[in-house]
Structure 1
């Protein structure tokens, strides 16, 4: 495809909307299993930043990844967007915490502590599309680009996607590329 970012966003939102609930859960579990396989060879990684799915956006169900990391005794972080800014606060999740949806439908943990970004070793990055070079397209608000810029460059950036990569997508100088992307079928290294 040779679309601009806006067209790609529309296209991939429509592809997601076309997934049945069963397909969404099946693909999410396949992705979670690939995450488990990837991490089984990397025991040194214990601090993970994880996004949680916004139901109306038909995002990947990351709760099985959370449950896996929690069972291993790893440290899990997520973010909370500060209203009126592009900043995201980092939250350390307390074990077994529940979630509630905020007014935008974003899952927010009920039991957390504000935390530093410093310990984070891996960020699981939400996206709509990505390409064979590790460029990605999100929802266009720029929250993750701003957040990723605050992290040590050595932090692994792992995209999670229902769909295979595009050949190429437009990128800008401020865009942060992925190190890996996990789809239901593959683990792609950039």
Structure 2
């Protein structure tokens, strides 16, 4: 199965999760994330603003604020297929962009330099135990991770863990995957 077919299959699978199950699994994943060394030691966490049915990151952003962490949220530059991160201090400073996604408004948020980010929570649709992931297409995160020096973690529902994902030379694996059942150190 190629990446495009697998993306379609994973999106369909995620859309079958009922809201209350989704909420509970997201809560369990967030709780496990908060217990990781990556979270505890991070001063600055980079994370996307989730869109249902992805693992809910809104509660993760709130927890980061409560703990005094700096939260950096990505803004896509589609022409260059690059990510720019901005410090988010209020959900009111987000703007709706393509596909109904929410991103930081550059006018309302300060830029975050990649070297100041301690951990990036890397999104995806499917994940292998090796840390390779199927992203949403576009390769934004793989480009960003090429030069990123910090730690990488992905959040995944059990349904997103896969035996096999097509891996290409430019794909960069994450170091840990946190699901509702486990925290997996990727080898």
Asked if these proteins are the same fold (TM beyond 0.5), I'd say: yes
The residue aligned with 2:49 is 52
The alignment's C-alpha RMSD in Å is 1.8
1:175: how far off?
A: 0.5
SS at match of 1:118: helix
User: Could you tell me which of 116, 125, 139 is aligned with 1:142?
Assistant: 139
Name which of structure 1's ranges 98-107 and 17-26 shifts more when overlaid on structure 2.
98-107
Against the structure 1 CA distance between its residues 175 and 103, is the aligned structure 2 distance closer, same or farther, given a 3 Å change threshold? closer
Instruction: Confirm or deny that 1:188 pairs with 2:187.
Output: no
For 2:175 and 2:129, the matched residues in 1 are separated by 11
Name which of structure 1's ranges 120-129 and 19-28 shifts more when overlaid on structure 2.
19-28
Gaps of 5+ in 1: none
The residue aligned with 2:34 is 36
For 1:10 and 1:16, the matched residues in 2 are separated by 10
For 1:42 and 1:89, the matched residues in 2 are separated by 21
- Contact 2:45 2:72 (C-alpha < 8 Å) held by counterparts: yes
Taking structure 1 as the reference length, what is the TM-score of the superposition?
0.87
Which deviations, in whole Å up to 9, do the C-alpha atoms of 1:120-139 show, x marking residues without a partner? 11000111001121110011
Gaps of 5+ in 2: none
The structure in which a higher percent of residues are helix is 2
Q: After the TM superposition, which segments of 4 or more aligned residues of structure 1 sit over 4 Å from their partners?
A: none
For 2:54 and 2:40, the matched residues in 1 are separated by 27
Which deviations, in whole Å up to 9, do the C-alpha atoms of 1:1-56 show, x marking residues without a partner? xx3322321221111111112222121111111111214x864321110111124x
Taking structure 2 as the reference length, what is the TM-score of the superposition?
0.89
User: Could you tell me which of 164, 167, 183 is aligned with 1:168?
Assistant: 164
The residue aligned with 1:129 is 126
Instruction: Confirm or deny that 1:92 pairs with 2:87.
Output: yes
- Contact 1:157 1:179 (C-alpha < 8 Å) held by counterparts: yes
Against the structure 1 CA distance between its residues 74 and 173, is the aligned structure 2 distance closer, same or farther, given a 3 Å change threshold? same
